[in-house]
Amino acid sequence: MDSLTGADQAGDSSTPPRIVGIGASAGGLAALEQFLEQVTPGSGLAYVVVQHLDPTQKALLAELLQRATKLPVREAENGMRVEADSVYVIPSNTELTVVDGVLHLNTPAEPRGLRLPINILFSSLARDQGERAIAVILSGMGSDGTLGLQAIRALGGLTVVQQPESAQFDSMPKSAIAAGCADIIAPPAELPGRICAYITQASKRVEPDAALTSMVQIPQTSSALPMDPLLSIFRLLQQRTRYDFSVYKPSTLHRRISRRMAIHGIDTLAMYEAFMRQNVQEIDLLFKELLIGVTSFFRDAAVWQQLADFTLPELLARQPTEQKLRAWVVGCSTGEEAYSLAIIFAEVVQRLSLYREHTLQIFATDLNPDAIAMARRGIYPASISADVSPERLARFFSAHDSYYWINKDIRDTVLFAQHNVVLDPPFTKLDLLSCRNLMIYFDAALQRKLLPLFYYSLRPGGVLLLGSSETVGRFKQLFAPIESKLRLYLRQENAPGAVPEQLAKSFPPLSKIKKELPMSLLSHTTQPAENLQTAADKVLLQVYAPAAVLVNNAGDIVYISGRTGKYLEPAAGKANWNFHAMVREGLRAPLIDAMKQAINQSEPVQLHGLQVQGSANKQSVDVTVQVFREPGALQGMMMIVFRDVAAAPAMRGRRKGHSVIEASHTAELQQYQDEIQILREETRASREELQSANEELQSTNEELQSTNEELTTSKEEMQSMNEELQAINAELQAKLDDLALAQSDMKNLLNSTDIAILFLDQNLNVRRYTEQASKIINVRESDIGRPLSDLTTSLQYPALRDDANETLRTLVFSEKQIPTSDGRWFSVRIIPYRRLDNVIDGVVITLVDITATKRLESKLRQDLNQ
């Protein structure tokens, strides 16, 4: 494996090391050993290992991993500073985090059950290391680590996952891959080399490429050679995603594109563009890479305090008759900021009893569909407790073992949608618009397009909230600062050079955004005349426009223009805004037919000379019925316009001649209308019953969902305990292998001495023996555990058992010279058997052959006697 020599580690000992967080669970020991075997000293990286361990047992992981690497392996301690070329292992029954390059150990809240220590480590690495963070997921069951990988990847860090086919348990690697947060996927033995190659490749791109640097100065039609690969990349992205990233700042594009190139080991833009054409999935990955998703709950606490204490109360006080305020959170990512606003508003209206009935509708939009899907679910990792107070967690979230789920009443306040703030029409009539830390990634031309758009979207007196690094720039005439340091601005009323109404009707492609005009040209504007015309149009509509109502497809009135009292009247009983119930006699039957006809044709339906009973006499009315098919907000709705007309005298004369017939027809028509009204009321009652049944089914569904969540939690707890058992089993298996090896070593050592040795336990039963001992004492493998007294021996030593008992009692060794029945002599030595903890646990009998010595002694004695 190539050692790292990049800029990150070049000779400066004061530079903190890059930290590689490694998460593993069941089956992870083998993967960790394969990984560490390929780690070469001198890379300058530090490795922090987290594995699911049994909280009741002392971990043996550090000593097991030390066998696989030359790097020092230490068990982590609280307050230990991370050093380069070292491995740190989590102790059992702890949670491990990294803050400012220092390890911190915490005791888990729950004694056992589902824990996510890998998520906790990775989340802390994301906060501490940012884009320098590196995270590795190895074999394991469940999904621990996936959320942590997402946090690291959102900040530009490197995420590495073991290839599922090479994992003993593939659930954790598959979960990370399915979540789309794996930059590198490979077997464990290849991962260290891929990580170092990525760092080396990334360190080469200290300065942006020339094409990226000059991008905003060269038109897209330029055929300059350095521009071609980059433009091709932009076109590939735009064809697949409908978004043009050429308006992003070059520095942002440089970091993100260079990161993808480093992951694949690609040196030039041309090579990367060719790679994208061959691998369509890379286009999607780069698209997600370019969508910055950094967010958190209540980011910049002072901003939220200002909103709670002053801004929101002032908005509520300014519109006391308005029951619903509207807000738009642009670039909401995974929803934390939108939910933070909903929580703050709930706290404000709870505190100010005067506004308890007011509500807030939040529109939260983002370009990333995956982020929107996550925001809609409203499920966040347990690590949000670092940003959300315990009081808010208890009030607005439901706690689960590994995550928090935001309450339904808060979720219902926010409407999430995928939306392109540049190309799609904006939300309007807003009281609050939040666009924080989005425009910093756009170039100046796009920023200057968005600010007038935001002005158009806000109501007079609406509030604009920007990020800490963003300002309104040259558009101070549109927005007055409320609190400059917090980037809170108030929409100016009747501002000079205000935005034309046509702005919302035309959103050209980004490629057609023109360069900025000089300030001197911007000062010459015709907008005041347009404002005057708009104001005059409004007066004319209010004073001279005919009476009209807007009706939805259920027949309910949603909007009334002008005075409609002559044509509509409330029905007796419970308040009912249904048009059919309110329309006066003489108009009901013709209008029902006209409304049916209008639905089936594109042209408006005209009714002339209808008679409606006024306060003194009948009034002749012309009615126009039209169904809207566009714009989208009015699609499917119906406009009914009433115009009074003077009755013709000739018609009155003719009607007198037919009064009897008309009276008959009127009575018959009234009967039909009564029957229709009865049927309508029955239909309404049925609809209410169906709605009630639907609510009951919904309640049952929520109960079933709650039960399912409890079962899921129980399953996850069982899975966690199973992973702990798997880890213990792996450690014990490793220990068994060590013991088997030690036993083999001891057996070979004893046999190599050519000495007969017999090991007896405290009851003088056979525990172990050497091959030489079996030639003197009749013992074999099946005699293990048999008493010494049951064995036969060639030794002429009847007191052997008694001497062994005496040694066991007095702890004093015994040594005698004993002959055998075949004429040999042995020095029999009996000593106590001491364990490592200094406990006497039997005796050891050694038999040394001294036959030669005895024969020499006998010969010497004979010679002396002669």
Instruction: Tell me the C-alpha distance between 856 and 803, whole Å.
Output: 28
b or e along 471-504 (b: 16 or more beta carbons within 10 Å of the residue's beta carbon)? bbeebeebbeebeeebbbbbbbeebeebbeeebe
Instruction: Tell me the C-alpha distance between 296 and 336, whole Å.
Output: 5
Catalytic residue (one of 8, 43, 52, 246): 52
Active site (annotated) includes residue 52? yes
Nearest to 239 by CA among 511, 514, 471, 559: 511
Instruction: Tell me the C-alpha distance between 53 and 62, whole Å.
Output: 12
b or e along 588-602 (b: 16 or more beta carbons within 10 Å of the residue's beta carbon)? bbbbbebbeebeeee
With contact defined as beta carbons under 8 Å apart, do 378 and 405 qualify? yes
With contact defined as beta carbons under 8 Å apart, do 81 and 106 qualify? no
With contact defined as beta carbons under 8 Å apart, do 428 and 377 qualify? no
With a CB cutoff of 8 Å and minimum separation 6, the contacts of 351 are: none
Please, what sign has the CA dihedral across residues 337, 339, 343, 345? positive
Instruction: Tell me the C-alpha distance between 45 and 39, whole Å.
Output: 10
Pairing between β-strand 18-24 and β-strand 45-51 as defined by DSSP bridges: parallel
- In DSSP terms, which residues pair with 475 in a beta bridge? none
With contact defined as beta carbons under 8 Å apart, do 457 and 365 qualify? no
Long-range contacts of 532-539 (CB under 8 A, 24+ apart): 534/501
With contact defined as beta carbons under 8 Å apart, do 436 and 467 qualify? yes
- In DSSP terms, which residues pair with 483 in a beta bridge? 488
Q: What is the CA radius of gyration of the chain?
A: 42
Residue 694 phi, psi (nearest 5): -65, -40
For residue 294, the Cα-to-chain-centroid distance in whole angstroms is 11
With contact defined as beta carbons under 8 Å apart, do 316 and 420 qualify? no
Catalytic residue (one of 128, 144, 170, 209): 144
For residue 839, what are its two tokens? 């406990």
Active site (annotated) includes residue 104? no
For the chain, the distance separating the N- and C-terminal CA atoms, rounded to the nearest angstrom, is 81
- Eight-state DSSP code of residue 545: S
For residue 790, what are its two tokens? 């049951």
With contact defined as beta carbons under 8 Å apart, do 106 and 94 qualify? yes
Please compute, for residue 12, the number of CA atoms within 13 A of its CA located in the half-sphere on the CB side: 10
Neighbour count for residue 149 (Cβ, 10 Å): 31
Nearest to 769 by CA among 761, 725, 368: 761
Neighbour count for residue 206 (Cβ, 10 Å): 8
With contact defined as beta carbons under 8 Å apart, do 809 and 801 qualify? no
Instruction: Tell me the C-alpha distance between 75 and 485, whole Å.
Output: 46
For residue 501, what are its two tokens? 């109404």
The number of helices, as runs of H, and strands, as runs of E, in the chain is 27, 29
Neighbour count for residue 181 (Cβ, 10 Å): 23
With a CB cutoff of 8 Å and minimum separation 6, the contacts of 842 are: 759, 760, 761, 762, 764, 767, 808, 832, 833
Neighbour count for residue 387 (Cβ, 10 Å): 15
Catalytic residue (one of 25, 143, 171, 434): 25
Instruction: Tell me the C-alpha distance between 439 and 453, whole Å.
Output: 13
Instruction: Tell me the C-alpha distance between 336 and 329, whole Å.
Output: 10
Specify the residue for token string 């009064």.
Answer: 659
Residues known to be catalytic: 25, 52, 144
